[in-house]
Structures are given as structure tokens and as C-alpha cells.
């Protein structure tokens, strides 16, 4: 790892101040992506600004018909939250499937979505649930937030402070993990809302990262059953193909994961 200057921020404002005007500085949250990347010398920030001790960035609260999950909340805390398990079981289950227990003890929801790895789990949950990403500057709808491979709508010095997730009538996530890394080879999140509308998002498979599947959404809105999506295949030409699986293989996995998610919801 290259040398770096460590700063511990006591507040979001202090962190923003440390980032301002220094495009070689990076936010450090759980470090479960940034530190491995720095160890590989794929990232070499001159400064890291540690936000993981900011108390105001941690916690899960129900507010009206939505949950506000602060950006620094660990995967293990989302997985174990009694309210989320009852109201948005798909999201709690998703968090419990990320990596391994040690990764879940450190990694945060804010870090995961800011990173927008094409094989990460949270982006599928945020997109399918129609979440709002709250930053220190503004609010961004999930539909606008995830902008491609490792790309988001965030500006250089913008900090995710929370996500606001509407409570759906039903939700579930089904993931086919890469057996070595545990990241998704394909993961599908399905959510059905009180007004009857449905949102479906897939991760792990898209060449541009997480994406919605409108054909499945309309099929499920009129018939909420695994059979409704069994015949719907996504076009393999827009999917990732690598040593772990071809684009055609991933296209098939997406349909299988969608069926399983609907069956589990």
C-alpha cells in the first residue's frame, strides 16, 4: 500500500471540509472495499477521511411509511434489525448475504452504494425499493443515483449520509453468489407496493451495473407468481461475461433468481 495520511472526522461537516479542494482524498467508511483496493495499489489516495466513528451516521429509524438507514450502518446491523426484518425482509436478508460475518461487521450501506460495484448487492435493493439517497448536499432517487460501472451521481466531495427506503407490501432478494468471492454472479430484488406496482432490479449481471427489468415488473403487477417471470429472459448482449460465467449463463441466472425471489416474497 502506498503511504497515505489518515484523518478521523468527528462530523459530516468536518469530513466535507477535509475533502474539499483535495481530489486525491477519499472517504473511508467500513474499508471493506477501499482497503483491499489500496493494498492492491489500485487506489492510492493521498488522504483518507475516516467517517466510521461519526455517531450521527449510524442507526436505523422508521419514519412514517419509510425507513431511514444512516450511511454508516453496518451490514450486520441491517441484517439483524427487527423492524426491517418484519417490514422489509428482502433488505435485511440481502444484508445478511453480503460477503462473510467479518465483512458484515465493518462494511457499511453508504460505502456499498457509493462504490456501486456491478456485483454488489445493495444497489439492487435500493433500485428495486425505489429508495432515495440522501447526501450532505441533496437527495437523489435511486433511479438517478446508479450511473454505470462503479459510477454514481455523487460529486467528488459529496458524502452519502443516509438512504430512505419506502416500506413495500412484499420484498425478497435472491442471489447466486460467486463461490469464491461471495459477490453476486446474479442477484434479483423484487418489491411489490401497496398500490399494486412492482419493481425488479438485477445486480451482478449488467455490463453497466445494476438495472431494472420492466418486462418482469409489468408481468408481476398483473400476476404475482414465479410463473409470471419464468418465460421472461433479459437480453444477453447487455450482460457481463467473464471467467465465472458467460453473458448467456448470467441471462439465465437472472430469470432463475427472479423466480426464486418472487417465490420467497
Partner 1 sequence: MATVSMTVNGKTVTGEIEGRTLLSHFLREGLGLTGTHIGCDTSQCGACVVHVDGKAVKSCTMLAAQADGCTVTTIEGLARGDQLHPVQAAFREHHGLQCGFCTPGMIMAAVDMIERHGGKLDEATIRHELEGNICRCTGYHNIVKAIKAAADEMSGSVATAAE
Binding site residues, partner 1, CB under 8 A: 1-6, 8, 28, 31-32, 35-36, 38-40, 48, 50, 52, 76, 99-103, 105-106, 180-182
User: What is the CA 121 to chain-centroid distance, rounded?
Assistant: 5
Smallest gap from residue 18 Cβ to partner 1 (A): 13
Smallest gap from residue 3 Cβ to partner 1 (A): 6
Choose from ligand FAD, partner 1, none: what does 40 bind? Cβ within 5-8 Å by kind. Answer: partner 1
| DSSP state at residue 167 | P
Binding mask 195-224 for ligand FAD (x = CB under 6 A): ------------------------------
Ranges of beta strands (E only) in the chain are 5-8, 25-28, 47-50, 60-63, 66-70, 132-135, 139-141, 146-148, 151-152, 160-166, 170-177, 184-192, 198-203, 211-212
CB nearer partner 1, residue 36 or residue 83: 36
Choose from ligand FAD, partner 1, none: what does 48 bind? Cβ within 5-8 Å by kind. Answer: partner 1
Is the Cβ–Cβ distance between 157 and 125 less than 8 Å? no
Among 67, 173, 176, 183, binds ligand FAD (CB under 6 A): 183
Q: 64: which residues sit within 8 A by CB, 6+ positions away?
A: none
Among 164, 182, 247, 249, binds ligand FAD (CB under 6 A): 182
Cα separations in angstroms, 182 against 96, 120, 178: 12, 10, 5
Q: Which of residues 95-124 bind ligand FAD (CB under 6 A)?
A: 98-99, 103, 107-108, 110-112, 114-115, 117, 120-122
Choose from ligand FAD, partner 1, none: what does 174 bind? Cβ within 5-8 Å by kind. Answer: none
Among 16, 95, 134, 159, binds ligand FAD (CB under 6 A): 159
CB nearer partner 1, residue 79 or residue 133: 79
Smallest gap from residue 135 Cβ to ligand FAD (A): 7
Is the Cβ–Cβ distance between 192 and 217 less than 8 Å? no
Cα separations in angstroms, 223 against 8, 71, 192, 218: 51, 35, 11, 9
Cα separations in angstroms, 198 against 79, 145, 189, 217, 251: 23, 19, 11, 5, 20
Q: Which residues bind ligand FAD (CB under 6 A)?
A: 26-34, 36, 71, 98-99, 103, 107-108, 110-112, 114-115, 117, 120-122, 154, 159-160, 181-183
Amino acid at each position: 500500500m502506498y503511504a497515505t495520511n489518515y484523518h478521523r472526522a468527528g462530523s459530516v461537516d468536518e469530513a466535507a471540509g477535509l475533502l474539499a479542494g483535495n481530489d486525491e482524498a477519499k472517504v473511508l467508511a467500513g474499508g471493506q472495499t477501499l482497503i483491499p483496493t489500496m493494498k492492491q495499489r489500485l487506489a492510492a489516495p493521498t488522504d483518507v477521511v475516516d467517517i466510521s466513528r461519526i455517531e450521527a451516521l449510524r442507526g436505523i429509524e422508521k419514519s412514517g411509511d419509510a425507513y431511514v438507514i444512516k450511511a454508516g450502518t453496518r451490514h450486520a446491523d441491517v441484517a439483524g434489525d427487527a423492524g426491517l426484518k418484519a417490514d422489509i425482509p428482502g433488505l435485511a436478508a440481502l444484508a445478511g448475504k453480503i460477503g462473510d460475518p467479518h465483512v458484515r461487521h465493518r462494511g457499511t450501506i453508504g460505502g456499498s452504494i457509493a462504490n456501486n460495484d456491478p456485483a454488489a448487492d445493495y444497489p439492487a435493493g435500493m433500485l428495486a425499493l425505489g429508495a432515495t439517497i440522501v447526501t450532505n448536499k441533496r437527495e437523489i432517487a435511486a433511479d438517478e443515483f446508479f450511473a454505470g460501472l462503479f459510477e454514481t451521481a455523487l460529486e467528488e466531495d459529496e458524502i452519502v449520509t443516509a438512504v430512505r427506503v419506502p416500506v413495500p407490501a412484499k420484498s425478497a432478494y435472491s442471489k447466486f453468489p460467486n463461490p469464491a468471492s461471495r459477490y453476486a454472479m446474479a442477484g434479483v430484488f423484487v418489491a411489490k407496493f401497496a398500490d399494486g406496482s412492482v419493481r425488479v432490479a438485477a445486480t451482478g449481471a449488467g455490463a453497466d451495473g445494476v438495472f431494472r427489468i420492466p418486462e418482469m415488473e409489468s408481468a408481476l403487477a398483473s400476476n404475482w407468481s414465479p410463473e409470471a417471470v419464468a418465460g421472461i429472459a433479459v437480453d444477453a448482449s447487455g450482460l457481463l461475461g467473464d471467467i465465472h460465467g458467460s453473458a448467456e449463463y448470467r441471462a439465465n441466472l437472472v430469470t432463475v433468481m427472479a423466480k426464486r425471489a418472487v417465490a420467497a416474497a
